[in-house]
Structure 1
Amino acid sequence: MDAKLEENDSDAAIAAAVTDDLAEREAAYEKFVWDNLRRNYLGNYLHGMLGMTGFRLVNAPTFLPAYLFAVSGSNGIVGLGLALQQLGGVISPIFGATKIEHRTKVMPAAVWMGSLGRLAILGMALAGWFLSGQPLVWALLFFILMFGVFMGAQRVVFSLLMSKVIPISRRGRLQAWRNATGGLIAAILAWVAGKYFIEPDLFGNGYSTTFLFAFFLTSLGLWALQILLKEPEPPTTRPQARFRDRLREFPALIAQDRAYGFFLLVQMLATSARIATPFYILYVGRQIGADGATIGLLTFAFLGADTASNLLWGYLGDKTGFKLVLTISLIGWTIATLMLLNFHHGAAVFAAFAVLGASLSGYMMASQTMILEFGSRDDLPMRIAVSATAESITATAGPLAGGIIAELFGYDVVFVASLGFLAAAFVILVTAVRDPRRKLAV
């Protein structure tokens, strides 16, 4: 009996020592985060500001769809291009997560994935200068696919990095200021690109010149992050697992948090609503005309509203949680689509693109920040990957289906389908998704 008691006492002592050691490592981790917050905040700010400036020029629903249509003359090619970008993000987030979730330092992987994504933008620029006709179309589609592949993996890595070095109470305002300043620069560049790059066909191809600028800006952002960021080693990490084994764990990962499961459904419906996004500028071109200056002006409206609204979204999210931001964003997205359907004059179209820019920026900030707040820290890389993959699956089919529908039935039907997805996402968000910030506060 005494031997058994001694064994139990020994086990209890070991467990207590392990608990104390873990608590000490958690405290050291937290201290490292706060001690290096100013440096890491600046690094994330510069990376986000410069990176998003360049990426927004590529991702805005104006330049790339208009360029694809200009070189192909086909709504189907426009839809295919945007679908390929999303297809690239279907598997790569999961692959990226399996490569980093067991690592204590993930910055080296971030540099590789980020650099490859930026090279895809450079490829789009060079293709426009050195190719024409069908070879140009196929080259653009290839680089758009590669851009999606590396952006999908990058999304997991950089989201994880932010969650490691920026406390939850500071994430909203960081995103607010980096998106606001980056959006301001992007909005000005969009106007400059439309008027001075695309309209006069600067250097033989105004779109290529625009994409080259995007490449340089995003590269500067990655360089700043690499120099400034000091990454802590987390107290715990998941053991390394094979890709297929982690795939089998997806149902359990989703089922263990009901709110996250419904949030995932909202993400999929909202990205399905992007079925109409590539065709906004083409619809406007048919209604009122869209030369280079008009495209630049509407991109300015889109990115300018994105810039101004980010300050509101960031501080509102930090104060109330990001479910409210997501809800308002879905409402604004719906209003913008209805405006484009019903008002066909310059001022109304400009206002619609502004509302759309503000709404999509709110959606992106809310969805990417809320995902960091569900579940455990060790499962965070794979949770980000699941959401990114789920979004990419629906976003892949959306533009492709939208292109076919636009060719057969016209843009109005595409817009109505988008409104249906937005309505479904709104209902599920309001009725079934609990704000994880509220759960953390309990």
Structure 2
Amino acid sequence: MEKTTEETPAAEEVVVIHPDEDGKSLAEREIEYEKFVWANLKRNYIAHYLHGMLGMTGFRLVNAPTFLPAYLYLISGSSFIVGLGLALQQVGGMLSPIFGATQIEHRKRVMPAAVWMGGLARIQILGMALAGWFLSGQPLVVAILSFMFMFGLFMGTQGVVFSLLMAKVIPISRRGRLQAWRNATGGVIAAALAWVAGKYFIEGNMLGNGYATTFLFATILTTAGLWALQALMIEPEPPTTRAQTPFFERLKDFPRLVSQDRGYMFFLIVQMLAITGRMATPFYILYVSTTIELTGANIGLLTLAFLGADTLANLVWGYLGDRTGFRVVLISSLVIWIASTVLLLNVHEVWAIFLAFCGLGASQSGYMMSAQTMILEFGNRDDMPMRIALSSTASGVMASAGPLAGGLMAATLGYESVFGTSIAFLTAGLLLLLFMVREPRNDRLASL
């Protein structure tokens, strides 16, 4: 029977140390843990690569600013409903990460939780497909909105679990290239499938509902990725974990998590500003519909531009992040994001719209990669699940309000006001990042 002892490194936190049966010291266990990570790196790398390639391919089809917003607008005829759907999805993602973190931060193995949370998220995509086939009118709109909320709810917990899994088994110097290649190859598949979905599924009304068919394919791809991770990954047991803490007691630690690292505090604010800037995302395709005909082929073409640029940029972002740290990636992403929005707003030629969607895809892939990776480099390992959850929740608050506010602004003031507000928030985040956030990897190396 494994024994456990407790010590209090600081008055605010309790960490459980798990010595093995030979009574090895914590330092020896840390060395063994590091050796385990490197010894199993190839297998775990492949597992995360397959999971990311297949899983993110399917999720991109759902989260791309084309298919789901266009489908919501098609069945509702309302820009407000489009914003409401995205807001509900973000509300779900806001509510669940902290609860998810409290359920896993004391566990030595978290893969079982990953399977449950990931599986439940995928069921919601399947629900969207089934609703498209079997419902119509207002019941269809209500069903899609409900599934979007539940999708966000389970994606919130999944995000915490899978980020922790990657941090446990992929060394910091390999995370960028892993994300680069899995996102790049997944992006090739997603871009090709987006074109096929637009041209053949939607225009051809495959199986009676092209959008439902697209969501079904997304479900199949994401499920295959989850199966690959479950079958291949070997998860180590960390030398220490946090003691299990009641949910509301753990909430009291938030001020400490934020105040003990000023870099993380300002990074958190940058995240919130950037996520608020995403308020314009679901309205890109709707704005384009006022300048060019929104056929299935055009939707597929612009999705191809968005996901294709995402694919190519990931290779640049991943290797750049491994070499320099991900602060440079985040800065570059925000600059491209702002420039692409300005281009889309001011130039209405087909080539400019295509180029703007390329820039939006490249910038948002860089933002996602840098935000998800930088968060793993602040603070200590035992607080990582809650730090991830805190960032997810804080960003989720803004992400929930953003699309809803954007929908109201689009309906009353026009799309230009939404884009202008988005640019303002992105610019504020960029300035704060430039002047108040240092590269956390350099601080970590300096402390060794």
Shorter-normalised TM-score: what interval?
over 0.9
Aligned position for 1:141: 145
Aligned position for 2:260: 256
Deviations 1:204-253 (A, max 9, x none): 10000000000000000000000000000000000001111111111111
Instruction: Say whether residues 1:413 and 2:423 are aligned partners.
Output: no
1:344 and 1:204 map into 2 onto residues whose CA distance is 34
Q: Name the SS of the counterpart of 1:194 in structure 2.
A: helix
Summarize the alignment of residues 310-389 of structure 1 with structure 2, pairs less than 5 Å apart: 310-389=314-393
1:372 and 1:441 map into 2 onto residues whose CA distance is 14
Instruction: Say whether residues 1:211 and 2:226 are aligned partners.
Output: no
1:245 and 1:335 map into 2 onto residues whose CA distance is 44
2:292 and 2:298 map into 1 onto residues whose CA distance is 10
2:213 and 2:408 map into 1 onto residues whose CA distance is 30
Q: Name the SS of the counterpart of 2:240 in structure 1.
A: coil
Letter in 2 for 1:180: A
Q: Name the SS of the counterpart of 2:242 in structure 1.
A: coil
Aligned position for 2:16: none
Aligned position for 2:54: 50
Instruction: Say whether residues 1:84 and 2:88 are aligned partners.
Output: yes
Deviations 1:91-127 (A, max 9, x none): 2000100000000000000000000000000000000
Summarize the alignment of residues 13-52 of structure 1 with structure 2, pairs less than 5 Å apart: 21-52=25-56
Cα deviation, residue 441, structure 1: 1.8
1:371 and 1:327 map into 2 onto residues whose CA distance is 15
Cα deviation, residue 169, structure 1: 0.5
Letter in 1 for 2:222: T
1:359 and 1:420 map into 2 onto residues whose CA distance is 16
Cα deviation, residue 381, structure 1: 0.2
Name which of structure 1's ranges 432-441 and 218-227 shifts more when overlaid on structure 2.
432-441
2:88 and 2:205 map into 1 onto residues whose CA distance is 27
Aligned position for 2:225: 221
1:257 and 1:264 map into 2 onto residues whose CA distance is 11
2:318 and 2:430 map into 1 onto residues whose CA distance is 20
Aligned position for 1:4: none
Instruction: Say whether residues 1:269 and 2:268 are aligned partners.
Output: no
Q: TM-score, normalised by structure 2?
A: 0.94
Aligned position for 1:192: 196
Runs of 5+ in structure 2 lacking a partner?
A: 1-18
Deviations 1:128-166 (A, max 9, x none): 000000000000000000000000000000000000000
Letter in 2 for 1:412: E
2:333 and 2:293 map into 1 onto residues whose CA distance is 28
2:354 and 2:259 map into 1 onto residues whose CA distance is 43
2:135 and 2:425 map into 1 onto residues whose CA distance is 38
Aligned position for 1:112: 116
2:81 and 2:252 map into 1 onto residues whose CA distance is 35
Q: CA RMSD in A?
A: 1.1
Cα deviation, residue 20, structure 1: 6.5
Q: Name the SS of the counterpart of 1:379 in structure 2.
A: helix
Aligned position for 2:73: 69
Aligned position for 2:10: none
How many residues align? The count is: 426
Deviations 1:309-337 (A, max 9, x none): 10000000000000000000000000110
1:362 and 1:20 map into 2 onto residues whose CA distance is 42
Letter in 2 for 1:417: T
Deviations 1:35-78 (A, max 9, x none): 10000000000000000000000000000000000000000000
Aligned position for 1:287: 291
2:100 to 96, 102, 125: 96
Cα deviation, residue 287, structure 1: 1.3
Aligned position for 2:5: none
1:281 and 1:112 map into 2 onto residues whose CA distance is 34
Aligned position for 1:131: 135
Structure with greater helix percent: 1
Deviations 1:341-394 (A, max 9, x none): 011111110010001000000000000000000000000000000000011100
Moved over 2 A (4+): 17-20
Cα deviation, residue 189, structure 1: 0.3
2:146 and 2:67 map into 1 onto residues whose CA distance is 17
Letter in 2 for 1:214: A
Q: TM-score, normalised by structure 1?
A: 0.95
1:74 and 1:20 map into 2 onto residues whose CA distance is 63
2:343 and 2:444 map into 1 onto residues whose CA distance is 38
Cα deviation, residue 437, structure 1: 0.7
Aligned position for 1:167: 171
Runs of 5+ in structure 1 lacking a partner?
A: 1-16
Q: Using the aligned pairs only, state the percent identity.
A: 68
2:372 and 2:315 map into 1 onto residues whose CA distance is 16
Letter in 1 for 2:69: P
1:438 and 1:325 map into 2 onto residues whose CA distance is 15
2:79 and 2:251 map into 1 onto residues whose CA distance is 35
Q: Name the SS of the counterpart of 1:237 in structure 2.
A: strand
Aligned position for 2:303: 299
1:422 and 1:290 map into 2 onto residues whose CA distance is 28
1:21 and 1:438 map into 2 onto residues whose CA distance is 28
Instruction: Say whether residues 1:235 and 2:250 are aligned partners.
Output: no
